[in-house]
Amino acid sequence: MDLHLQNKIILITGGAKGIGAAIVRQCAGEGAIPVIADKDAAAAALLQHELRQSSAQSEFTPTELTHAQACKAAIDFTLQKFNRLDALVNNAGINDGIGLASGSPERFLASLERNLLHIYNITHYALPALKQSRGSIVNISSKTAVTGQGNTSGYVAAKAAILGLTREWAVELLPDGIRVNAVLPAEVMTPLYESWLAKFPSPQEAKARIESKIPLGHRMTTAEEIAATVVFLLSEKSSHTTGQHLFVDGGYVHLDRSLT
């Protein structure tokens, strides 16, 4: 299927690794030009080298997203390079375990800076360019936004807020023809997820226990499956879809657990 993304400029935050890297790869595979906004220059360099092997074009702008001016700089870099921006994927975030009892007001605020504030900041600075291109925005939330998890108040507050902002921005940007949607992953094997599993006495047993609760196929969702949904939402093929929350999780959140 041709998604008509050829030469579209798509900025992806946290695009150097994990789900973000999968989104970068699929955008490039559709002929788009992904711009990676990430603080991990080494991971970004490896990803760009991989893309060059298939003659795909990409750009990297080193970005510490917790700083508003760095978010502005990422947008400025993109516009100076291409003079346009067609889509924005707000992907960056980390489940940092800042709980109610185990955290503190200061650590909670820092978690919001890592997981929420940059989404407003970079979208704010991207907005004039997205209005010109009548572009698209996809926000990456999490199943924890609707299920809770325990001991991760900052992350959950941010991911739930992202769902609210998705609906709010979809309404605000209707006159500009800008579509705004959210994707909610659940159990996806990424470097961060592997690090979390490694904390268990038997990571393989923990993984098997989690997979047994996923109705469709009793397996984790792949980063590529998340990316495929994101790229579809960025494309003209979803031209009448806005303000939606899409769960790409093998039925993990909504299907009856007795099925497992």
Q: Which three-class secondary structure state does DSSP give residue 243?
A: coil
Kindly name the residue from 120, 125, 155, 193 that is annotated as catalytic: 155
Residue 127 included in any domain = yes
Q: Is the pLDDT of residue 126 over 90?
A: yes
Number of helices and strands in the chain (H, E): 10, 7
- Does the residue 108 lie in any domain? yes
| Same structural domain, 193 and 209 | yes
Residues 70 and 138 in one domain: yes
77 and 203 within one domain = no
Rounded Cα distance between 115 and 65, Å, is 9
Mean pLDDT on 10-38? 98
Q: Is residue 254 part of a domain?
A: no
CA pair distance 235, 157, nearest whole angstrom: 29
CATH of the domain at 39: 3.40.50.720
Give me the sheet containing 179-185, strands edge to edge. Answer: 59-62, 33-38, 9-13, 87-90, 136-140, 179-185, 245-248
- pLDDT at residue 74 tops 90: yes
Residues 114 and 155 in one domain: yes
Structurally, how many domains does the chain consist of? 2
Q: Is 71 inside any structural domain?
A: yes
Same domain as 113, residue 130: yes
Averaged pLDDT, 191-214:
93
* Residue 193 annotated among the catalytic residues of the structure: no
Confidence of residue 258 (pLDDT cuts 50, 70, 90): confident
Asked, for residue 167, whether it belongs to a domain, the answer is yes
* Mean model confidence pLDDT for the chain: 97
pLDDT band at 147 (very low <50, low <70, confident <90, very high): very high
Q: What is the pLDDT of residues 161-198, one digit of tens each?
A: 999 999 999 999 999 999 999 999 999 999 889 998 99
118 pLDDT more than 80: yes
Interval 117-123 mean pLDDT? 98
List the structure tokens of 100. Answer: 């109610």
Structure-token match 């702008």, residue found? 61
**Is the pLDDT confidence value at 1 over 80?**
no
Indicate if 171 and 207 belong to the same structural domain: no
Mean per-residue pLDDT for 101-105?
Answer: 97
Question: Is 260 inside any structural domain?
Answer: no
Q: State the Cα–Cα distance between residues 181 and 166, nearest whole angstrom.
A: 6
Host domain of residue 205:
188-220
- 106 and 208 belong to one structural domain: no
pLDDT at residue 196, as a whole number: 86
Is residue 259 pLDDT above 90, yes or no? no
Higher pLDDT, 2 or 153: 153
Least confident of 125-129, 148-152, 256-260: 256-260
